[in-house]
Structure 1
Amino acid sequence: MTKHLELNMDAYLPLRDVVFQTLRAAILRGELKPGERLMELQLAAKLGVSRTPIREAIRMLEQEGLAITIPRKGAEVAKMTEKDMEDVLQIRCVLEELAARVSCHKINDGELRELKVAMIEFDEKTKADNVVELAKADVTFHDLIYKAADNPKLSMLLNNLREQMYRYRTEYLKDTQRHSQLIQEHHEIVKALELRDEEQVVKIIRQHLKNQEEVVKKMIREQE
């Protein structure tokens, strides 16, 4: 287990959420490796908390697909698999295309301005070596498209799926050679929405997700 695991306290968050964010960041940064055991007693001692918030945080990690509990063995960091990624991306592609289609007809000038700000924020984040912050900027960009669709039930489905996508998103964003392509795709998405070009925005979204799938599949195969 990594020697650098430290609790990042936040007075506004419950302890279980602080533990969750700490473990989540360690997994996404690769400090806790796939297959590494998440032993409650050891983690509790290392972070200076009781076992209860550790147990609750592990359950939250399981919901995101970052951890898995194996009978008679306990919890461990989940391995990424092609099948799991394909399953999640298949659903995301359908829902995100739908959100983009609806947003094309509903997005207003204020929402377009917000989206452009988020686009520029993402561009700026690619200049820093912080994949977690970059992932947040990417999530914000896509969330604004969902919001513009003005369909709370669709947004809820996409938000639930987002947690399962988070690990694959960060793996993709670690590939700095892809950042210029991502920036271009975001700009093209905004332009298509601005022109109310439904077929063009769906085409870009589809390619956007296909590129992610290809890169992450390659990463998974290299780690096997």
Structure 2
Amino acid sequence: MRVPSVTDVIREYIEKSIYTGKFKPGSKVTEIEVAAALKISRPPIRETFKLLEAEGLILRIPRRGVFVAEINEKDAWEIYTLKAELYALSIKLSFDRLSASDINRMGRLVEAMEECARSDPPGIVAYQELNTGFHDVPIEAAEHLRMKNILQGLHNQIRYFSSQTLSDRDHMERSCNYHRKIYEAFKCGHLEETVQLSREHVMAAFSAFETKFVHASHSLNSNKSML
């Protein structure tokens, strides 16, 4: 088992801080703050910033510093539509490779996701991990490293926003239903149905993003203009 490097530790800390909302979109992240939190020197933090910038998680602005990347409606549309097609590709590439054990694992993950949705309050962090595990089954079986890496980067860019939309129990339950249907379609050997359900599932998540962040922002701006 590989021992985590200093860069791994820094990366995990910053990513988790973004996902949980400790570092909110648009907020500044300083080397001093990260160094103090992890009790490490600053040079490896600079290297980690470069990696996270390449993934789109942070933005380095000359003479101003490092900021958590913000996502507008067009950014989100690009991310979700690309995710939808890459998930579809992972299903097509893996469909004949998945074993009975793989399918059963997906079923167990769906059951655990449904349990998260039933809990009070809903288990958002656990649900996200289970959701990732579910999609990782066909992604790993597809044996397409570049696709896997691109999907990981896209997932990282919207994980904070995903956690916010999943705070809506109705959205989490709809997500559960999609995963249940995708699993059943896999189990029955229905390729086209599985691909279609996967695309619908991702775009339903985009609709939840629009409702939570875009429409709410438009409504707020409209109310301000009336004051």
TM-score between both structures, scaled by the size of structure 2: 0.80
Match of residue 191, structure 1, among 163, 172, 184: 184
Amino acid aligned to 2:49: I
> Does the Cα contact within 8 Å between 2:165 and 2:208 map onto a contact in 1?
yes
- Of 177-186 and 51-60, more deviation after overlay is shown by 51-60
| Equivalent in 67, 70, 81 of residue 76 of structure 1 | 67
What amino acid does structure 2 have at the position aligned with 1:92? K
Give the equivalent residue in structure 2 for 1:94: 85
Q: How far 1:75 sits from its partner (Å)?
A: 0.4
Q: Which residue of 2 aligns with 1:201?
A: 194
> What SS does the corresponding residue of 1:75 show, helix, strand or coil?
strand
2:16 is aligned with 1:30: no
**Unaligned stretches of 5+ in structure 1?**
1-10
Q: Is 1:61 matched with 2:46?
A: no
- Is contact 1:39-1:74 (8 Å) kept? yes
Q: 2:104 aligns with which of 105, 108, 113?
A: 113
Runs of 4+ in 1 over 4 A off after TM superposition: 150-154
Counterparts in 2 of 1:49 and 1:149: CA distance versus 1, 3 Å: closer
Q: How does 1:134-149 map to 2 (within 5 A)?
A: 134-149=127-142
1:155-210 deviation line (CA, Å, top 9, x unaligned): 45434543344344334333332121111111100111111112211221121011
Bigger mean CA offset, 162-171 vs 16-25: 162-171
Identity across matched positions, percent: 25
Distance 1:42 1:108, change over 3 A: closer
Q: What's the offset of the Cα at 1:129?
A: 5.1
Q: What is the RMSD computed on CA atoms of the aligned residues?
A: 2.6
Structure 1 residues 17 and 148, CA gap change in structure 2 (3 angstroms): closer
- Residues 130 and 59 (structure 1 numbering): CA distance in 2 closer, same or farther, change over 3 Å? farther
Q: 1:163 to 1:118 in 2, by over 3 A?
A: same
